[in-house]
Structures are given as structure tokens and as C-alpha cells.
Structure 1
Amino acid sequence: MTALLRYQGALLLRSQGWPAPFALYAVFVGIGVQPGDRMLDSLGYAAAGLVPPAAWLVRVCVTVEPPAARACTAAAAGPARVHAAAVLTGLGAALLTGLLAAAYTLLVGDPAGHDPGRAALTGRWR
């Protein structure tokens, strides 16, 4: 499965489909998360905005491989494993994007006397 994930990751990086969801989400977070805003509100905003780019990235990963190459890969590893690797690659890219947005939010957000680490891990400050 590791080889399939590396293959799907290489396909995603070489495709022209990944910059648009990343740029859209970066603009969304850049406009919606302002320095000094409450940290938990900003984390919620960033998490809610991640859903469309995540779906877009999964769609790109599932459809980026040419049909002949997909057939060869499916014959070698099985169609279910190939499809699962494509979905996991898209979700991994979305997870990386979300982690970058959460780090930005934790850096510029106002903790208002709350522990940022605890707020990020539990979603609450009490």
C-alpha cells in the first residue's frame, strides 16, 4: 500500500489540479482569520472551510490517472486498493492543508487567557 500511496502522491504533485484548491483555501483562511480574532472561532472557521477543498482534492486524486495506467495499476494491485490509495492521498493532502491553516490560526489568534495547545487538541478551553 505504501508504494500505491507514493505513486498517487507523485501523480497528484505532477498534475495541474492541486494548486487551485490550495489557493482557494488559502484565500478563504486569509480573509476569514484575522489577527486578534478569538482562537476557537477562527479554528472553527478554518475547519468548516476545509470541506470543499478536501472534496476537490479527493476528486483530483481519483481522476488524475489516465484510464490505461489505472487499468494496469488495478491489475497489479487490485482495483479496491488502487482506489483506496487515491482517496487516502487526497485526504492526506487535505489534512496537510488543514494543519497549515490550524498552525496559522494558532499563531495569529487571540487565546484570551486560554492554553492554545489544549484549545487545538480538545476544541474547548475549560
Structure 2
Amino acid sequence: MNYEQTLQEKVALCLTLQGAKETFPFDNKMHALTIGGKIFALIHMYHGDLFVSVKCQPEKIDQLRDEYQSIIPGYHLNKKHWITLVINEKYDVEPKIEMALIQNSYQLIFDKLPKKAQYTVKFSTND
């Protein structure tokens, strides 16, 4: 599996969401996907695996972790609100579920934005 290509595909997937932007606030290897200046996904390589971290409702986290071995507590994040998908040869999360988790994270962050920022996002264009 070409993890660099997969990383770029995951970033591109996130960038299809309205108003999503890619930033590098930590270093040039940690891709932070933001909406209204707030992070909804972090994507980076770690020890040969690809990590995709997203926000999630606390009540869903245990169920997801029980169902998928590739979902772990948020790596270096608040484990009550974040999960990390570890993409490697044992990855067991279906693409449909993965996209739903990314969209859910995006929506959780969007819903917490001030109304003015939400308005700006709704009428922005992804260039």
C-alpha cells in the first residue's frame, strides 16, 4: 500500500467538504483540516502507519472501538472526543464508514462555530 498516496487521498476527501482548508500548524508533516479555523481532522504518518484523527460524540466512541480494531483513542488528543483511524495492512473500516466519520467530525465542528463563521463557510468556495 502506498501510504503517501493514501494520505493525499484522505486530505483530498476532506477538502471536498464546504469551506474545508488544509493547514500545517504543528509541522510540515501533520495535515490539519479545518473549518472556520477549527480543526476537524488531523492526518499524518506515524511509524509506517497512516493516522487519521477525527472528532466524535463520546457516546459512540466505545462502540466504534469495539467494532473496529483500526479505531483507537485519539492519538495525542482528548480521548473523550477524538478517535484515530490507523490505516495499515490490517485496516478494517469500510470507506462508507470512514467518510461518515469524517463528515460527522466536520459537522460537530461546524455546529460549534459562531453564526457569522457558519455563514462565511456556507457561502465560501473551495479553491
Q: When the two structures are superposed, what TM-score results if normalisation uses the length of structure 1?
A: 0.30
- Which protein shows a greater Rg? 1
**Which structure is higher in RCO with an 8 Å CA cutoff and minimum separation 6?**
1
- Decide which structure has greater strand share: 2
